[in-house]
Chain A
Amino acid sequence: MSKFEFPPSIRSRPVYGTLEVRAGKHHLMIADAAGAEAILDVATPDLMAKTHIIYIPRGADFEDKLRALNPAQFYEGPSYAASVSRIQRVLQDASMGLQVYLTGTEGLMGQAQNEAMQAGIPHTAIQTEHRGSVARRMQCVHCKGITEDVETDPFVCSHCGLNLFVRDHYSRRLAAYQAVCIDAEDPGNVPAQKGIYATETEQ
C-alpha cells in the first residue's frame, strides 16, 4: 500500500517518518490496521526475538503474518481502549534503552505516544510511521469530547452535536486535533462536508 503524503502544515502538527531498526535490547511495537505492513517491512528474525508486538487489527487481516514473524511477545487487541492498560503495564517495566515503534493511524500513534511520554520517554525518541486511514482524532474545543476517526470537514461532534471544522492545531497531551464550531457567526450555515485532504489549501 502506498503511503499518504501529508501536505505541509503548521508547527504543532505531527510529522511521521519511516520505521528503522535501532540498536536495543528491547523493542516495543504498537500498531493498528495497515500499520502491520510497516512492521513486516522492518522485521528481521534477530529484531523479532527481542520485540513485543501489540496489534489492533480494526478489520485488517495481518494476524497470521505478524505471528509468523515469531516476536518474543504478541498480543492482538480488539480496540485501543481494550489494549491501553496492557500498554501501560508494559511501559511500567520498560528498561533504559527500550525502543518504541508506533505505526498505523494518527489516533493510535498519538495515544500510544502519550502513554510512552507519561512513562518518561521523550516524544522525540519515539519512532512513528503513518499507514492506512488518514482519519483524525478530534477534540471539540467546546465540550472537550473526543470524536474518533473523523474523515470529513466539517463534522458533527459525537458528544455535543455542534458542527465543527477540522484544524491542523494538534495537542500531543490530548493526542488530538482541535475542532471548532463552524457556524457560530451564522448558525445553520454549514458548508458541505468534504474529505479532510480534499483540497490542500486552507487547513
Chain B
Amino acid sequence: MTLQFNDETFRDDYSFHNSERAIKRFPFPFDKDSYMYVVNMEQHRGGPSDSIYEMRFDVDEHYVSEMRDRAMVLADDPLRCQSLPHMTLAGWDLLELIMVSKSEDYPDLFQLHRDGDKWHWINKPLGIDDHFTFMDETTLPYGPMEYITRQTQGDFCVLDQRDDNLWMDAGTITTQADWSLDFDIGMNFFEWHAPVPLAHEKGIFVRALKFLLNIQQGAPARRLNWTMTVNPLLDTSPENYHKWGIQKTSLTPENIGAKQHLRVELQTFFRLPRSNALVFPIRCYLCAFQDIVSVPKWGRRLHRVIRDLPEELATYKGFIDNRPMMLDYLSKFDDGQDTSNGIWPELDSEPPLKT
C-alpha cells in the first residue's frame, strides 16, 4: 500500500496520532499476562505481511515527522550524535546497510544507484537527492552515521567489539528511554547497563552479551523492550528531564487514556561487514492507552502485566507513582477472560470485552 505520512508533532501540542493501521501493527510487547526480564532474542528475518517485523528497517506513517523532530533535537544539542574517532568505518558500514535495505524494501520511496564508489541516493519522502563518493566523508554534509541516521527512524548505537565485549563508541540518540549517549559513550556492555535493576542478578546481561558477540553478517536478531511515557514525547532524555519530568504529573482519570502511552522499542542487531562493529537500532513505537485497549486482548493483558509488575521495575521504568491511576483505567478493560499466547492482536478470534 502507499504510505501516507502524518504531519504531526512529538512535543508542545503533541499532535502525534496512530491510524487504525498503525494501531493494528503496534508491537505490543507482552506475549503472556506477566512480564519479567528474559533474553528474548529471535532472528530478524522478516515477519507477517505489513507487520513492523517485515522489513529490515520499518518505515511507517510517522517517518517524516520523526525525522523533523530528530533534526530539532540535534540542533538544540549536537552531543546527541557522537562517534569516537575509530568508528568512522562502522558509520560507512551502517550507511551502506540502511541504503541497500531501504532501496530494496521500499523501492518506491528510496533509490540507490552505485557505480563503483560513486553513489547516488534518493530519499523521496524527505526530498533528498545526493551524489557522493563512498568512504569519502568530504562528499557528505555530515559524517556517514549522522547522515543516514538523520534519515532513519529509531536511535542507533554503533558498538565496537573488542576484548570479548561491546563498547558504546558511536550513536545517534534522540528518542531514548532516559539514558544519555554523552554520558555512556565509551562504556562497555555491562557498564552502560549498570543502572538496570534485577537483570544483572538474573545473569541476563552475561547471556545477552554472549549472544550478541556471535551475531554474524546477514543474520540479524531482534527483541522488544518497553517503558511508559506520558504524552507522545520522543525525546525523553535525561538531558531534558528537568523540562519533561513535570509532564508525568499531568495525568488525570479523565485524560489518562489519551495521554499515557506505552512506549515499545524494537531493538535489532546487525553485524557490520568491514568494521566488525555491531549496530543496535532502537526503534521507538508509541501507542496511547485508549488505542491499546481498542484491541480486547491487549486491554486485558496490559492490565494484568502492569498490576503484577515488581515494584523495582515500575520504579526503574518511571511510572510507580502513576501505577494506581493506570490500574483504575485499565481494569475497566479486563473482564477476566483468558488471553491467547503471543503478541498479536487476534482481533478475529479473541472475544470482545464483556460489559
Contact = CB atoms under 8 A, between A and B. Distances in A.
Asked if chains A and B come from one complex, the reply is: yes
Interface of A: 10-13, 139, 141-142, 144, 162, 167-169, 171-174, 178, 180-181, 184-187
Contact of B241 (A168, A169, A181, A187): A181
A185 B191 contact: no
A13 B194 contact: yes
Nearest to A160: B242
10 contacts: A10-B194, A11-B193, A12-B195, A141-B183, A141-B241, A142-B240, A171-B187, A173-B185, A184-B241, A185-B246
B182 A142 contact: no
Contacts of A11: 190-191, 193-194, 200
A169 B191 CA distance: 8
A139 B200 CA distance: 25
A12 B194 contact: yes
B40 interface: no
Given A11-B193, A184-B245, A185-B248, A142 B186 contact: no
Nearest to B184: A171
B242 A169 contact: no
B246 A169 contact: no
B255 interface: no
B259 to A, nearest CB: 15
B245 A185 contact: yes
A181 B242 contact: yes
Nearest to B192: A12
Interface in B63-91: 79
A9 to B, nearest CB: 9
Contacts of B194: 10-13, 168-169
Interface of B: 79, 180, 182-187, 190-195, 200, 238-246, 248-249, 321
Contacts of B79: 144
Nearest to B321: A185
A169 B193 contact: no
Contact of A185 (B180, B182, B249): B249
A11 B195 CA distance: 8
A165 to B, nearest CB: 11
With a 10 A CB-CB cut-off, give which of B79, B240, B244, B245 has the most chain A CB atoms. B245
B180 A178 contact: yes
A173 B195 contact: no
B205 to A, nearest CB: 8
A10 B200 CA distance: 9
Given A12-B192, A13-B194, A167-B195, A184 B246 contact: yes
A142 B246 CA distance: 15
B324 to A, nearest CB: 16
B242 to A, nearest CB: 4
A10 B183 contact: no
Contact of B249 (A12, A139, A178, A186): A186
A155 to B, nearest CB: 15
Nearest to B242: A181
Nearest to A187: B246
Given A10-B194, A144-B79, A178-B183, 5 more contacts: A139-B183, A141-B238, A141-B241, A173-B185, A181-B242
Contacts of A185: 245-246, 248-249, 321
Nearest to B193: A11
Contacts of B239: 141-142
Contacts of A178: 180, 183, 238
A144 B195 contact: no
Contacts of A180: 238, 241
Nearest 7 pairs between A and B by C-beta? A184-B245, A12-B194, A10-B194, A181-B242, A11-B194, A12-B191, A173-B186
A178 B193 CA distance: 14
A141 B200 contact: no
With a 10 A CB-CB cut-off, give which of B180, B190, B193 has the most chain A CB atoms. B180
A174 B238 contact: no
